[in-house]
């Protein structure tokens, strides 16, 4: 699937704004045909945004089940004879969409795009009604998983991930038009031949049997530097300007579907020319060892929850630059494509993660209060879940495969990984990722409960990604003991001969809480002491090729005795004020810039 674009042959209309909105607590809307007429008694909801915090209403905030979004739109008059498509960049966690009274598409998974060709159902120059029922219930066969429990007080949604289950239409919605003959996909690969860049491209198109493909590569000054033809082929760029961390140089590849001299479809794909490789315990970008600095992050903002927001996008990247971060992980789900686009442009390196988080009942008892389940079993996370998970991997890779910033796929965060069930579940998923993308390394993020010697899934990864909280969840306040234990475990992992990225380490910190004596968890001073301890350990172990602090900013979670108005491990507060640790990290990370 290609992203909607405006080009010489394509046109799009943005459908963001105010939609009609209704909760459907009785689950009656589908059978009652709520899509067939204006939503009665609806309130208004902003798109893109999570609905949870917008309505000042507990019923909406903690709601699970179906919610309805509806709006009308005029199909542009000029689209006569065009193929017309309705495109959602995401709907969390699943959606079914109607145009007028016709169901046009359903999609499972909250963080990847989907679309429907609605040409047959609409006429240019007419108004149509778009209705989407979005369902945010998490269950054993969803990614991420969850369960609805019957309690004396009624049904409750439980899940095992440490961030709030924000839901709704979080990203752009588009109506767009192309010619009936059009490109449907492009895959780019890049390599070097000495100082030259070698770009491979493969296009896919529909209704285009009698047409030819022409491609033109332009540099950032918009000068054509290479041309080719054919549905797939290779371009050589003399003295290529490499895409590199800190230098987000992009070429633009224009794909044209042509009929003689007529351009029937034109699509523009940005291209960053770079290589990624794992070599022993080193992670190489353009053949050079790369050391990741940065964060695990969240899409999480006041009021709009997981709604995409351009000002925060730009501001957050300014903060990454200010602090000297060269990378982040899309913990714990695919972020908006606009984030990945911007990472390309800013030369920020991305570890791209699926929404497979919370596949771990061992963690449930402690932080999330849900006990008594077995993670992998016929009745819980099972083969059907694995199929949904495999599809989530495929959709992530299909969406992000052409982004130079993405250097590594993370297929899950902190699943149970020390049991035979886990090994059986995960092994085929690594194959799914490698089949979908043979060019990038694949890994998953290991949890502290499956330390070296116990983890049975790490063997399948090209890199080791570890989340560890020595000095926080264990050895709390005792950084001396933490340092010894951490170094011992990390040394054992280093023996695996793979690169190790510490994808999480962090300490909850209440902004404004201070201590003159050391060892005071929750204080701003302790966050620094904790980070310093970790860095001493990392700096002694060669195989460590990256440090990503948990978290970039404070974020919202479910309530619980471990969380004070959310997770406070941010180096910045939720409204992006620096805690003292931000200045400390800046002095460490900018030293190398």
Residues that bind ligand GCB (CB under 6 A): 162, 332, 413-414, 467, 504, 550, 567, 569
- State in angstroms the smallest separation of the CB of 449 from ligand GCB: 10
Query: Comparing C-alpha atoms, which of 431, 426, 430, 399 is closest to residue 415?
Result: 426
- State in angstroms the smallest separation of the CB of 477 from ligand GCB: 16
The packing angle between helices 337-346 and 310-323, to 10°, is: 40
CA pair distance 391, 114, nearest whole angstrom? 13
Sign (positive/negative) of CA torsion 345, 346, 347, 351? negative
Backbone phi, psi, residue 30, to 5°: -65, -50
Whether 496 sits among the annotated catalytic residues: the reply is: no
**Using the 8-state DSSP alphabet, how is residue 73 labeled?**
E
Catalytic residue among 353, 414, 416, 529: 414
Specify the residue, 249 or 572, whose C-beta has the smaller distance to ligand GCB. Answer: 572
CA pair distance 438, 457, nearest whole angstrom? 20
Specify the residue, 429 or 447, whose C-beta has the smaller distance to ligand GCB. Answer: 447
The packing angle between helices 383-400 and 420-436, to 10°, is: 30
Residue nearest to ligand GCB (CB): 162
- State in angstroms the smallest separation of the CB of 526 from ligand GCB: 15
Specify the residue, 53 or 414, whose C-beta has the smaller distance to ligand GCB. Answer: 414
Contact 504, 470 (CB under 8 A): no
Query: CA angle, 540 as apex, 538 and 545 as ends, to 5°?
Result: 45
Element (H, E) at 532: helix 524-539
CA pair distance 469, 534, nearest whole angstrom? 9
Specify the residue, 97 or 582, whose C-beta has the smaller distance to ligand GCB. Answer: 582
Contact 267, 5 (CB under 8 A): yes
Catalytic residue among 89, 115, 489, 504: 504
CA pair distance 24, 337, nearest whole angstrom? 30
Sign (positive/negative) of CA torsion 159, 161, 162, 163? negative
- State in angstroms the smallest separation of the CB of 363 from ligand GCB: 8
CA pair distance 572, 295, nearest whole angstrom? 11
Specify the residue, 332 or 574, whose C-beta has the smaller distance to ligand GCB. Answer: 332
Specify the residue, 395 or 504, whose C-beta has the smaller distance to ligand GCB. Answer: 504
Query: Comparing C-alpha atoms, which of 314, 287, 297 is closest to residue 506?
Result: 297
**Using the 8-state DSSP alphabet, how is residue 364 labeled?**
I
Specify the residue, 271 or 359, whose C-beta has the smaller distance to ligand GCB. Answer: 359
- State in angstroms the smallest separation of the CB of 162 from ligand GCB: 4
What count of Cα atoms within 13 Å lies in the side-chain half-sphere of residue 370? 25
CA pair distance 110, 186, nearest whole angstrom? 23
- State in angstroms the smallest separation of the CB of 54 from ligand GCB: 24
Specify the residue, 90 or 509, whose C-beta has the smaller distance to ligand GCB. Answer: 509
- State in angstroms the smallest separation of the CB of 414 from ligand GCB: 5
Specify the residue, 5 or 573, whose C-beta has the smaller distance to ligand GCB. Answer: 573
SS3 87: strand
In 3-state terms the chain splits into helix, strand, coil percentages (rounded to 5) of 20, 35, 40
SS3 254: strand
Residue 14, token pair as written in the block: 């943005």
DSSP state letters, 267-328: EEEEE----EEEETTEEEETTEE--EEEEE----BTTTBT---HHHHHHHHHHHHHHT--EE
The packing angle between helices 580-589 and 524-539, to 10°, is: 20
- State in angstroms the smallest separation of the CB of 471 from ligand GCB: 13
Specify the residue, 69 or 333, whose C-beta has the smaller distance to ligand GCB. Answer: 333
Whether 504 sits among the annotated catalytic residues: the reply is: yes
- Tell me which residue has tokens 């108004």: 127
CA pair distance 95, 105, nearest whole angstrom? 8
- Tell me which residue has tokens 């549905």: 231
Contact 83, 182 (CB under 8 A): yes
* Residues annotated catalytic, as ranges: 414, 504
């Amino acid at each position: 699937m290609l992203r909607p674009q405006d080009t010489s042959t394509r046109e799009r209309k943005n459908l963001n704004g105010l939609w009609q909105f209704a909760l459907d607590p009785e689950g009656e809307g589908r059978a009652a045909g709520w899509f067939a007429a204006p939503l009665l008694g609806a309130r208004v909801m902003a798109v893109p945004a999570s609905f949870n915090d917008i309505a000042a209403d507990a019923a909406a905030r903690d709601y699970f089940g179906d919610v309805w979004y509806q709006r009308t739109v005029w199909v542009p008059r000029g689209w006569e004879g065009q193929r017309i498509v309705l495109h959602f960049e995401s709907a969390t966690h699943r959606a079914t969409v109607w145009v007028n009274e016709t169901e046009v598409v359903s999609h499972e998974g909250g963080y990847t795009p989907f679309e429907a060709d609605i040409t047959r159902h609409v006429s240019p120059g007419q108004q149509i009604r778009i209705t989407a029922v979005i369902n945010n219930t998490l269950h054993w066969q969803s990614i991420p998983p969850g369960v609805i429990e019957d309690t004396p007080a009624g049904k409750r949604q439980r899940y095992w991930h440490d961030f709030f289950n924000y839901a709704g239409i979080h990203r752009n919605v588009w109506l767009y038009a192309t010619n009936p003959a059009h490109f449907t996909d492009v895959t780019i690969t890049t390599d070097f031949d000495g100082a030259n860049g070698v770009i491979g491209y493969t296009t896919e198109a529909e209704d285009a049997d009698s047409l030819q493909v022409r491609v033109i590569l332009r540099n950032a000054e918009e000068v054509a530097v290479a041309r080719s033809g054919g549905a797939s082929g290779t371009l050589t760029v003399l003295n290529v300007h490499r895409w590199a961390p800190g230098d987000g140089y992009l070429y633009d590849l224009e794909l044209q579907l042509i009929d003689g001299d007529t351009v029937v479809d034109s699509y523009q794909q940005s291209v960053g020319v770079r290589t990624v490789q794992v070599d022993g315990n080193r992670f190489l970008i353009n053949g050079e060892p790369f050391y990741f600095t940065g964060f695990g992050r969240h899409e999480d903002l006041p009021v709009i929850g997981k709604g995409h927001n351009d000002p925060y996008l730009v501001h957050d990247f300014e903060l990454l630059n200010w602090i000297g971060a060269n990378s982040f992980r899309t913990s714990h789900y695919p972020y908006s494509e606009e984030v990945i686009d911007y990472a390309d442009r800013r030369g920020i390196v991305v570890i791209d993660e699926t929404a497979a988080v919370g596949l771990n009942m061992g963690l449930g008892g402690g932080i999330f209060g849900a006990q008594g389940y077995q993670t992998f079993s016929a009745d819980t996370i099972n083969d059907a879940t694995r199929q949904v998970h495999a599809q989530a991997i495929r959709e992530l890779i299909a969406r992000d495969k052409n982004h130079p910033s993405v250097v590594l796929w993370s297929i899950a965060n902190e699943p149970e990984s020390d049991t035979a069930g886990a090994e059986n579940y995960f092994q085929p998923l690594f194959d799914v990722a490698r089949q979908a993308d043979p060019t990038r390394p694949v890994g998953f993020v290991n949890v502290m409960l499956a330390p070296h010697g116990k983890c049975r899934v790490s063997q399948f990864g090209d890199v080791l990604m570890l989340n560890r909280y020595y000095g926080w969840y264990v050895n709390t306040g005792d950084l001396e003991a933490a340092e010894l234990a951490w170094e011992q475990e990390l040394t054992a992992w280093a023996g695996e001969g793979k690169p190790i990225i510490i994808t999480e380490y962090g300490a909850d910190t209440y902004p404004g809480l201070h201590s003159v004596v050391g060892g005071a968890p929750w204080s701003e001073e302790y966050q620094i002491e904790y980070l310093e301890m970790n860095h001493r350990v990392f700096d002694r172990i060669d195989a460590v090729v990256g440090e990503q602090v948990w978290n970039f900013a404070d974020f919202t979670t479910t309530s619980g005795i471990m969380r004070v108005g959310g997770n406070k491990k941010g180096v910045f507060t939720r409204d992006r004020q620096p805690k003292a640790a931000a200045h400390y990290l800046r002095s460490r990370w900018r030293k190398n810039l």
